[in-house]
Amino acid sequence: MAIDWGSSNVRVALLDAQGGLIDRRASAAGVFTVQEGRFAAALLPLCADWINQYAVPLLACGMIGSRQGIVEVPYVACPASAGDLARQLGMAELPTVEGFATEQVQQLHIVPGLNTGSQETGWDVLRGEETQLFGAMAAADDAARLFVLPGTHSKWMSRSESGHIASFQTYMTGELFELLSRQSSLARVMAPAQWSPEVFQQGVAEARAGALENLLFRVRTAGLMGRFQAHELPDYLSGLLIGAEIKAGLQQFAPPDPTIPIPLLGSAQLTQRYAIAFAQFGQAVVEMPGDAVFTGLLAIAQAAGLLNPATAAN
């Protein structure tokens, strides 16, 4: 059973030994919403019947392995392969829960996150995206070396020719958008967004040429001086932030051939925005399915030896 347990929600998928999806369920019981460490009470209502019927191993990734999760699983340093993660899985016990009894206490295997950097240069970390990327690698073109995962904290991740995650970098684009559009002085000139692609692309174009610290104030002046309508300003801000991220990411990772598409992994709404923005930089992209995390969990389970005929769901 594959479990993607993030900060705001949890998704579970019952897979067969070949990775075929048998069933899937989800809830809003993310790690940050679980009270008093009652993780078993949050998970078992979703899957106790599967556990009893199939006796499958449980493998989870994401914030469930963080300091706020059921147990803190140490990071693995880059470069790292799926096998490296499989050899360093964390473990936690899920006690039985009244009303959702399982035949015995369950062992929850947990994928470690990754880190890169040092005390001298500073650190970058992630949890969950490593599994998503290993799942995406199976479907991506072999020539793809750079992957972008838009989100609250966007991740740019590179893979080596040997299939390792070589390095990555985080951009707080999504969180900055939420803070600036809701809690800053810019929010006072904004109205709820109505998708304005031309205004979004204008923001991207200006981000290519200017410094973000200066450009952000233009959101306020654009409202004050009537350059854009209030409902267009969220898309202007989005274009500035995403454009600045792409500008910095392409400078950092310097993909040698812009005709080789960069896979985008994330929600369709976000990946479509990023695809529009990347086009202004002359960089090809391809949007990939959003359930790569379950494929990645299967690959790590196989590498860890968790699957065998006795535990496979059939």
Write out the residue range of the structural domain in which residue 266 sits.
Answer: 170-287
Kindly state whether residue 165 falls inside one of the protein's structural domains.
Answer: no
Does this model's pTM top 0.85? yes
The answer to whether residues 1 and 14 touch, using CB atoms and an 8 Å cutoff, is yes
Tell me the DSSP string of 275-290.
HHHHHHTT--EEE--T
Kindly state whether residue 150 falls inside one of the protein's structural domains.
Answer: no
Kindly state whether residue 309 falls inside one of the protein's structural domains.
Answer: no
Domain count, the chain: 2
pLDDT score at 114: 98
Give 138's pLDDT tier (boundaries 50, 70, 90).
confident
Residues 179 and 283 in one domain: yes
Residue 14 structure tokens:
């019952």
Residues 247 and 297 in one domain: no
Separation of alpha carbons 115 and 66, rounded Å? 13
Kindly state whether residue 240 falls inside one of the protein's structural domains.
Answer: yes
Residues 206 and 218 in one domain: yes
Q: pLDDT, tens digit, for every residue of 268-290?
A: 999 999 999 999 999 999 999 76
CA distances from 19 to 12, 293, 299 (A): 13, 11, 9
Amino acid making up residue 94: L
Query: Residues 96-117: what's their mean pLDDT?
Result: 83
Residues 131 and 38 in one domain: yes
